[in-house]
Amino acid sequence: MSPSSPDVLVLGSGIAGLSAALGAAREGASVTVATKSTRPEGASTWWAQGGIAVARQNPEQFQRDIETASSDTSDPAAVEVLTQQADAAVRDVLIETLNVNFDAGGDGAPYDYGREAAHSADRILHVDASTGKHIHEPFLAYLAEHPRVRIADGTAAVGLLAKEGRVRGARLASNGTLAPVYAGATVLATGGIGALYGHSTNPAGATGDGIAMAARAGADTADMEFVQFHPTVCIADGDPFLVSEAVRGEGAVLRDAQGERFMPAVHADAELAPRDVVARAVERAHERTGQVVLDVSSFDFEATFPDLQALCESHGVDPSTGIPVVPAEHFLCGGIDVDTRGRSSLEGLYAVGECARTGVHGANRLASTSLLEGLVWGLRAGAAAPGHEQPAGRSEEAVQTGDPPAPDTLQSAYDRIQAIMDEHVGLRRTPEGLARAQDALRTLAAEVEPHAAPDAPPVGHELQSACTVALLVAEAAAQNEVSVGCHYVTDPGDAGQPVAA
Ligand code: SIN
């Protein structure tokens, strides 16, 4: 294989990117996986807690749950692909290829299938509540030994090489050099947008790079207004950490500062209502009473979730007295618009995982479907991607990268993005706030543009990507006047009633 000109260039190294690499390598393609992370923790996959949902031979019931959680806004054809292929993909890759040791059930049952909000069946495979790292680490190790796959870490993509609607690879920055890498097909698997918000469950590098690069190259995006907030994130010492929905699946309840359970009055499924409903209720209870805690006293938390017990303790939180929680940004349901094989609107460009909008999630994602979507779409895109010829007419040159912006300049730009997004493009939005957000983000985008000059280092391009994607979210939110799922538009000053149901 030619490392500088692979058949398939994958950008990103979470489950979606690694599955795409595996899918392409199985077709005999040469694959380069370029990732700006230098450690597994740089990918959101590593952080995933609850698990990965499977169909357990009942794809129809699984499909109904996904569609209901999305308020029937997901694309049934995409959901059908996911639910029909879930069991086989998990068995093939995770169990038989990577030997992931999912928790066993009692009485000799091979698996302990967990339950999370809005699932009508126990169907979530997990390893304690740290499933992501138990998938991600063996996956990286497996591909590191694969003869057709090269993993280039510490290598950030700063732009796509696109000509006349055809994507021909990407510009990659590594060790102070910015060089073109041409490829038959390019697969974006760059993850989410957590850096746009003050509090997120994503790792720090989630700046929306792939979405911004694709949009700049002219690819279609869709559903960008549907930013999912997780209802139970603990921010005990300023450092947010997720408290998995599996904890509510086990029987934990939410209480306000007066000790009152508020979810039964909000939804028939109480704490196990769809995630968007619980997140808004937690935010309101927090505003009303000053605190919300997750009460785990109905079961043995330490024995059931030893990893989460340790995580709480490492942040100075004693779960037995209630875990303080708030909603925080968790997942972008929209992204680069792709079909059921991950093909975007540009020839030679694919997108998988959180940066892609497959149509599976619609306006609100069902819990524990993101690893599954990354796996299934990654394999499908990887199998389809080797069909493209290598691009002709290569004219880009390598350059040395210039100086980065001063740390204060970078920090203050991110502070401004986060302040705008938190105030105007969060869990509850108003038309006026969205208009203000767009104005402020356009001003900021013009200010940061010089930091993304052709020879700028990755941090400058990342900042520009964060601005571009924030604006895409705010614009999409402003264009959608209907409150549905994660996108909830209220009148200014309103206590929580949507403008339109
Ligand atoms: C969780 O463990 O609560 C997160 C699962 C998910 O986001 O799908």
Interaxial angle between packed helices 407-424 and 431-448, expressed in degrees from 0 to 180 and rounded to the nearest 10: 160
**Minimal-distance CA residue to ligand 1 atom 1:** 244
Q: How far is the CA of 196 from the centre of ligand 1 (A)?
A: 20
Give whole-number Cα distances, 261 to 197, 281, 324, in Å. Answer: 28, 11, 14
37 alpha carbon, distance to own chain's centre: 15
Helix (H) or strand (E) holding 7: none
Helices 431-448 and 458-479: angle between axes, nearest 10 degrees:
160
- Other Cβ atoms closer than 10 A to 391: 17
Residue 367 Cα to ligand 1 middle (Å): 5
- How far is residue 207 from each of residues 13, 45, 213, 386, 465, measured CA to CA in Å? 15, 15, 11, 28, 6
Asked whether the beta carbons of 47 and 245 are under 8 A apart, the reply is no
Distant-in-sequence, close-in-space partners of 174: CB < 8 Å, separation ≥ 6: 152, 154, 155, 156
Phi and psi torsions of 9, nearest 5° = -105, 120
Q: Judge if 233-329 and 402-479 fold alike in CATH terms.
A: no
**CA-CA distance, 367 to 129, in Å (whole number)?**
13
Cβ–Cβ < 8 Å for 254, 294 = yes
Which pLDDT value is given to residue 1?
37
Q: Which residues are catalytic?
A: 275
Q: How many residues does the chain have?
A: 501
Q: Which of 15, 245, 311 to mutate to test the pocket of ligand 1 (most atoms within 8 A of CB)?
A: 245
CB 400, CB 175: distance < 8 Å: no
Phi, then psi, of 475 in degrees rounded to 5: -65, -45
CATH number for the region 402-479 comes to 1.20.58.100
Choose one of 232, 233, 370 to mutate for the ligand 1 pocket test, by most ligand atoms within 8 angstroms of C-beta.
370
In angstroms, rounded to a whole number, what is the distance separating the alpha carbons of residues 205 and 196? 10
Q: Which CATH number fits domain 233-329: 3.90.700.10, 3.40.190.10, 3.90.25.10, 3.40.50.300?
A: 3.90.700.10
What string of pLDDT tens digits covers the 501 residues of the chain? 345 799 999 999 999 999 999 999 999 999 999 999 988 999 999 999 989 999 999 999 999 999 999 999 999 999 999 999 999 999 999 999 999 999 999 989 999 999 999 999 999 999 999 999 999 999 999 999 999 999 999 999 999 999 999 999 999 999 999 999 999 999 999 999 999 999 999 998 999 999 999 999 999 999 999 999 999 999 987 889 999 999 999 999 999 999 999 999 999 999 999 899 999 999 999 999 999 999 999 999 999 999 999 999 999 999 999 999 999 999 999 999 999 999 999 999 999 999 999 999 999 999 999 999 999 999 999 999 998 988 887 778 899 999 999 999 999 999 999 999 999 999 999 999 999 999 999 999 999 999 999 999 999 999 999 999 999 999 999 999 999 999 999 876 555 555 543
Q: Which residues line ligand 1 (CB under 6 A)?
A: 49-50, 244-246, 367-368, 370
> Taking the C-alpha atoms of 246, 251, 254 and 257 in order, what is their torsion angle to the nearest 10 degrees?
-130
Each domain of the chain, given as residue ranges in start order, spans 233-329, 402-479
